[in-house]
A = this chain, B = another copy of it.
Amino acid sequence: MLRALKPSPRILMGPGPSDVHPEVLRSLSIPLLGHLDPEFLEIMNDIMELLRQAFGTENLLTVPMSGTGSAGMETVFANLLEPGDHVLIGVNGLFGQRMADVARRCGGIVTEIHADWGDTLSEDELAAALEANPDIGMVAVVHAETSTGVQQPLKGISDLAHSHDCLFVVDAVTSLGGIPVDVDQHGVDACYSGTQKCLSAPPGLAPVSLGYRALERMDQRKTPVQSWYLDLSMIRSYWGSERSYHHTAPISMNYALREALRLLFEEGLDNVYQRHARLGKALQNGLEAMGLDLHVAEKHRLPQLTSVRIPKGIDDMTVRRELLAGFGIEIGGGLGELKGVIWRVGLMGHSCSPNNVMLFLSAMEQILRRQGMTIPEGVGPQAAWASL
């Protein structure tokens, strides 16, 4: 017979999930309403309204899809692409790669523009690709590359896309709630995110937001959306005034998202962004003071996700295992070509606290010193504290 679940306590400082606020955890233990209960429909309205504010948009079709962030990605491509449609995708990390894979499975003809994993995309190269192929109807980039820690500037690419009559699609999985996404201001036509990063709800929902250009594209489809589960033409009738049953919404996860968003606005969006910026910078200063190299150039660094080069002679897994076993701290390893090359340290949402910065830097100092690195005592926490 199994015993009741009792996992060890953790401090989640990886690339997501992040730690969930106690009030959000509490909301998950509330008994369920039905998915068509009038009170649940009100909760859905709250969620849509709060999501619009978080995305910085007036887009009516702003809803949480019933899957994790990658389901949000698939939602956008499956609804906006038809077989034979041309799409330009910026690939400077794993999630750009994934976009290209998903788009191809939707029948899209994909042009990839590459940049090094750790660099931003070149607007000139994107422009040249658009010039070269006038059939391209969509440009897609990742705002916050979770595999590298790079922040991609959006406005230039947005203008470029629109000047070529293209939809502009943005992956905001790791950016939403950590840095401003500003969908309307950036002219983003379709955007998707996840709940387990800077929103600090558990993984399981994928907020998406689609503007009028994207809706027009959906309305002009000649073929049905290949995914029934992610077909927005039906899902908008459930979240819209018709309230038509489509699938059974994940009630408890929507409770959690509603509460996570409520806490976001209780703190205030600007305060939240400032907290991420300040603590991200403190962490990065601390790591550099310890003699560690950061993988991304300073001007392109995300505050909520820092990639650290693994020093020569230090074993990736040993360090991560000691962090987990000794301190309960989870950080992430590298993905794809960055496996064994970087660590990924998250400061997302509820995990983004001064205490976590100080504790992590102290713990890393002890572990790396035991591994043979020479680090002056306490320089990491000192440098972080000085910039707090």
Chain A contacts to B: CB under 8 angstroms: 1-2, 4-10, 12, 14, 16-17, 19-20, 23, 25-35, 37-40, 43, 46, 50, 66-71, 73-74, 78, 98, 101-102, 104-106, 194, 196, 202-204, 224-229, 245-253, 255-256, 258-259, 262, 265-266, 324, 330, 335
- Among A8, A17, A229, chain B packs the most CB atoms within 10 A around the CB of A229
Specify which chain B residues have a CB less than 8 angstroms from the CB of A14 in the assembled complex: 34
Residue of B nearest to A201 (CB): B252
Contact A253 B202 (CB under 8 A): yes
Tell me which residues across on chain B come within 8 A of A78, comparing CB atoms: 227
CA of A33 to CA of B67, assembled, Å: 18
Contacting pair A25 B33 (CB below 8 A): no
A26 partner residues in chain B, CB cutoff 8 A:
29
Question: A8 and B39: CB pair below 8 A?
Answer: yes
Q: Which applies to chain A's interface (DSSP): helix, strand, loop or mixed?
A: loop
User: Contact between B17 and A251 (Cβ–Cβ < 8 Å)?
Assistant: yes
Using A70-B229, A74-B229, A250-B253 as known contacts, say yes or no to A32 and B8 having CB atoms under 8 A apart.
no
On whether the beta carbons of B204 and A204 are closer than 8 Å, the reply is yes
Q: With both chains docked as a complex, state the minimum distance between the C-beta of A267 and any C-beta of chain B, in angstroms.
A: 12
A7-B39, A32-B20, A250-B204 are contacts. A226–B105 as well, Cβ < 8 Å? Answer: yes
Closest beta carbon of chain B to A174's beta carbon, Å: 11
| Sample of 17 more A-B contacts, CB < 8 Å, known A17-B248, A203-B250 | A5-B43, A7-B39, A10-B31, A17-B32, A17-B34, A17-B35, A17-B251, A69-B247, A70-B229, A73-B228, A74-B227, A74-B229, A104-B224, A105-B225, A203-B249, A203-B251, A245-B335
